[in-house]
Structure 1
Amino acid sequence: MRLKSCCVYSVGVVCILLLIGGIAMVLSQVFQKLINNRVKQEIVLVNGTEAFSVWQNPPPPVYMQFYLFNLTNPAEVLDGAKPSVVQIGPYTYREYRSMEEVKVLENGTKVAAINPKTYVFVPNMSRGSEDDLVRTANIPAVTVMEKFQDHSVIGRLIADLMRSMSVGVFGTFRVGDLLWGYEDPLLKALKLLVPLDDHFGLFYKRNGTSGGDYEFLTGTQNYLDFARIDKWNGQSSLNWWSTDDCNMINGTDGASFHPIITKTEKLYMFSTDLCRSLYAVYESDVSVQGVPGFRFVPPSEVFANITINPDNAGFCVTNDTCVGSGLLNISVCKEGAPIIMSSPHFYQADDKYVQDVYGMNPRKEEHETAIDINPLTGLLLRAAKRLQVNVFLEQMSVFSQTEKIRTLVYPVMYINESVVIDEESAEKLQVVVTEANVVINIPFIVIGLGILLGVAFIVLICHQKGPQSTAAERQPLLAS
């Protein structure tokens, strides 16, 4: 009889717990939806919100590191040998990038702003100084040669001028000049004949200046539009590439993302350095200063050749100059300069480019672009944008300096633009994430307590003792 009662009570308790569990699942989804709706309402580009403050003045420090490749065998390269380079640096700069001239547009659905960036050299985070010398490709000279290689008369005149000035394919430059600008002697001489800027630098006119005029969507109408670029320099699309898809301006500027991010979505970004939009996909879960996040990285398909990714055909400058996988020819947006972008050390590029230059050692952990984002808020936890600047070199019959040179993509330098969430911001975000997790898990906490109480109830029922028999009930048995 006691066993039967135990079984009945156990079945009853299990049924009740199953019912509670079902209710808990439903309540958890309801609470999750309530939290998501609250986040969507609060993370908008509206003055007075925390999201607006972080967008306008990002608190974590941003650092820009420059690594340059010093050429050790210039004479041999001009005679047809492979280049041999040695990486030097980093030359580290603190980057300041607050949004300025912010204006509210179209009833608060958009904001206009410029994003000037200022760089300040940080000696104690650098290996070397701005006065270091580096031997590398002479980009102004190569650009001039590329521009006039099909003009035999003018080309020969420029070739004679270059010889008289001892200007060649390669040159030695002060690091600070190569980065921020210097008066180039060849350009200065040509300026007497052609109107052009006689200064050159890889980041010339980019210290303390804006990368363009932006119009951002605020996310008030759709949370997915938070900080998404609607227009850049007054245009809603680009005009450098040959297809509408390649000319699209998609996503944010890479510094902000919408909240409620899922692992299955693509995060789009527009890069002025690459003159195009690109996307990143989920790679893994991460934790940065105790805050959970998702790591997103650009897949190899983004920069794959047209055989692997036909959608990239629009990025071919002309039909006969499609570069291989992992490369992007951006000469169309760099005033004809033969600049080709890639990941550092040709990471994820065709192996040919790695083998063409001694000193290339691509490594995922050092050369991959990666973004770690808190999925609830869309806030950056950690990011590293890594890009390499290369120059296309080839033989040009008009210029005798190039008559034996190999056709190759020559690496000049690469950047690592990085940020890690500061301690104060991480602590604030930890509180938000913890509170959200507690609210979402309240139903499961309740069912956990219910299970413990149910198990305790069953144990008590099944182990309680039966009633004791009296002396009168035992007497006949003894008498017998």
Structure 2
Amino acid sequence: MAENGREDENLSEDTLLIKENLKQEKKVTKYSHRLIIYTIIFVLILFITSFILTISGGVLWFVTYKDIHTQVTHEMSLQNGTLIYEQWIAPDARIYKDFYIFNWTNPSDLALGIAPKLIEVGPYRYREYRNKTVTAVSENGCHVIYTQHKLFVFDRGATSVDLSEDDVIQTLNLPLAGAVHIAKKSIFLTAALNSIILETNSSLYKSLTVKQLIWGYEDDFIKELKKLYIFPKDKNFSIFINDNPQDQEPSIVNTGVCDSKALGEFIQWDGNRQMDIWGDQYANMINGTEGFFFRPFLNSNDRITFFVDDAMRSIELACKNSHTEHKGIDTLRYGLPLYFLQNASCNPANARWYQFCPQGLFYIGNSSIMPDVPAYGSKPHFLDADPNLLSNVSGLFPDREIHDLFVDIEPTTGVTIAVHNRVQINFKLERTEIVYFNEIPSLLYLPILYSDESITLSKELYTHISSKLNTIDLVFSISLVVVVAGLFCLLASTVSSCCLLTNIRSVLKKDSNPSSD
């Protein structure tokens, strides 16, 4: 010991300092090694935790999605005990049909080449009641057979106090316009029609009550048309049908039990599996649903189809807006695609629906109570139609906010939250060798009225949908939090691993290159 002490005394101060540094480095190295071990353990714990959380979150999400998918598919199927079935049988949702009538104020000026002056009157609101009676269900539960009774009742309380369905409107003599279109194809019918017009003192225009114009009437002129078999003997002339006897014919739809994607889609409508009024087999197909609910789990790329009984055809809608909110419920907004309103010249496929007309119109003459009449549908006020249609009349002012049609659907359940099915009825007038029509200056599409079909969900159904969506959001949020926590731990362990690797390299470098003077 004494000798070592003497040796230390004989060493220079620099040498002593180096020895002291070496001792300190050994202590630091031991501490670094211990820290590395602790860090490795911590990183391993993070890795294990992140793995468990991520897998658990993924499994929870998968199980939750599968369970929710099963629940929603069941609840949105047409089988006894489901809410949608009860609403389908006898909906307590309020369905309205508003009518806006165009009062033609200057019909006698048409022969002078003066454009028709129209004044919009309305809305006249009718409450629509739909009640179904199930007559049978297929053995496998895939299809349900039913009859439906549809009734429209004038809603005095929801219509302006200064309006009544007994209001008198001046409008085109629609039976005459229809008869002219049919009779011009035959010299015999042309002569006979000219004689009937004079005998019955009929004119180009007619004064009718709102109720007569919408739901039908009969006069001496129509009685004479029935004698010529131009008009069905057992019917009155009407634009729309109320309390239709044909509703007693059976319809068949998919229940969604066997295929949720086919929920509510028609297989047979009013006793018909397909129609025979259009240009080919495809156009005559009865596709789609009633329009008040669709298949669940829709996305913005999906297109939906509904069958419109007023137009006697299926109509496909495309998503126009992926985020429209109604009282906290997010919906997809669907509307008419561009090709639907194109005429056969621009879109040859539309020739099967006889769209040989200006852009923005679609033929509905085959759906009328009087077949083969020159009736065409459009958006109200000729919105999105050929500008010439608008310039040929006076008093129309298209506005997308109040004249466009749309269907807002909650995508998870497929329930229609809001809808405004707006369609304008127009009649084509052209010069022919028949009384009054030989004075028409040029081809004219005259607006008669437009309807706006809307729906207000019942409080029960709205609350049920909101509650179900909130539950789904909560469960998925928990799953997401677990997955995010796992991913955060994985990120933390990755960063820690990088730091640890740098630290280990530094320590190893010091160990392999000890300090020396």
Give structure 1 regions of 4+ aligned residues with deviation exceeding 4 angstroms: 1-18, 192-195, 204-209, 447-457
- TM-superposed CA distance for 1:243, in Å, is 2.2
Q: Alpha carbons of 1:109 and 1:454: their partners in 2 closer, same or farther (altered >3 Å)?
A: closer
CA distance in 1, matches of 2:189, 2:344: 36
Tell whether the 8 Å contact from 2:260 to 2:295 is kept in structure 1 after alignment: yes
The equivalent position to 1:404 in structure 2, one of 440, 455, 459, is: 440
Aligned to 2:207: 172
Superposition pairs for residues 298-337 of structure 1, below 5 Å?
Answer: 298-316=336-354, 322-334=356-368, 335-337=371-373
Aligned to 1:287: 325
Greater helix fraction, Structure 1 or Structure 2: 2
The C-alpha deviation readout for 1:112-162, integer Å capped at 9, x for no partner, is 122221111112322310121111111111112222123334423422331
- TM-superposed CA distance for 1:205, in Å, is 4.5
- TM-superposed CA distance for 1:103, in Å, is 2.3
User: When the two structures are aligned, how many residues end up with a matched partner?
Assistant: 455
- Residue 233 in 1 paired to residue 290 in 2? no
Superposition pairs for residues 117-196 of structure 1, below 5 Å?
Answer: 117-127=150-160, 128-192=163-227, 194=229, 196=233
- TM-superposed CA distance for 1:226, in Å, is 1.1
The equivalent position to 1:88 in structure 2, one of 109, 121, 137, is: 121
CA distance in 2, matches of 1:325, 1:439: 49
The C-alpha deviation readout for 1:81-126, integer Å capped at 9, x for no partner, is 2212111000001111122244223442211122221111112322
CA distance in 2, matches of 1:444, 1:304: 46
The normalised TM-score by structure 1 is 0.86
The equivalent position to 1:395 in structure 2, one of 427, 431, 434, is: 431
Q: Alpha carbons of 1:263 and 1:135: their partners in 2 closer, same or farther (altered >3 Å)?
A: same
- Over aligned residue pairs, what C-alpha RMSD do you find? 3.0
Q: Alpha carbons of 1:375 and 1:153: their partners in 2 closer, same or farther (altered >3 Å)?
A: closer
Tell whether the 8 Å contact from 1:215 to 1:232 is kept in structure 2 after alignment: yes
Q: Alpha carbons of 1:447 and 1:73: their partners in 2 closer, same or farther (altered >3 Å)?
A: same
Superposition pairs for residues 428-467 of structure 1, below 5 Å?
Answer: 428-447=464-483
Query: Structure 1: any 5+ residue segments left out of the alignment?
Result: 458-480
Superposition pairs for residues 211-360 of structure 1, below 5 Å?
Answer: 213-284=250-321, 285-316=323-354, 322-334=356-368, 335-360=371-396
Select between 394-403 and 414-423 the one with higher mean Cα deviation. 394-403
- TM-superposed CA distance for 1:455, in Å, is 11
Tell whether the 8 Å contact from 2:47 to 2:489 is kept in structure 1 after alignment: no
Aligned to 2:19: none
Name the larger-Rg structure. 2
2:146 is aligned with what amino acid?
A
Q: Alpha carbons of 1:153 and 1:426: their partners in 2 closer, same or farther (altered >3 Å)?
A: closer
Aligned to 1:468: none
Query: Structure 2: any 5+ residue segments left out of the alignment?
Result: 1-31, 494-517
Tell whether the 8 Å contact from 1:109 to 1:220 is kept in structure 2 after alignment: yes
The normalised TM-score by structure 2 is 0.80
CA distance in 2, matches of 1:408, 1:3: 91
- TM-superposed CA distance for 1:265, in Å, is 0.8
Aligned to 1:36: 69
CA distance in 2, matches of 1:152, 1:451: 83
SS state of the match for residue 103, structure 1? strand
Tell whether the 8 Å contact from 1:178 to 1:202 is kept in structure 2 after alignment: yes
CA distance in 2, matches of 1:143, 1:329: 14
The C-alpha deviation readout for 1:170-192, integer Å capped at 9, x for no partner, is 11111111122222220123445
CA distance in 1, matches of 2:479, 2:225: 76
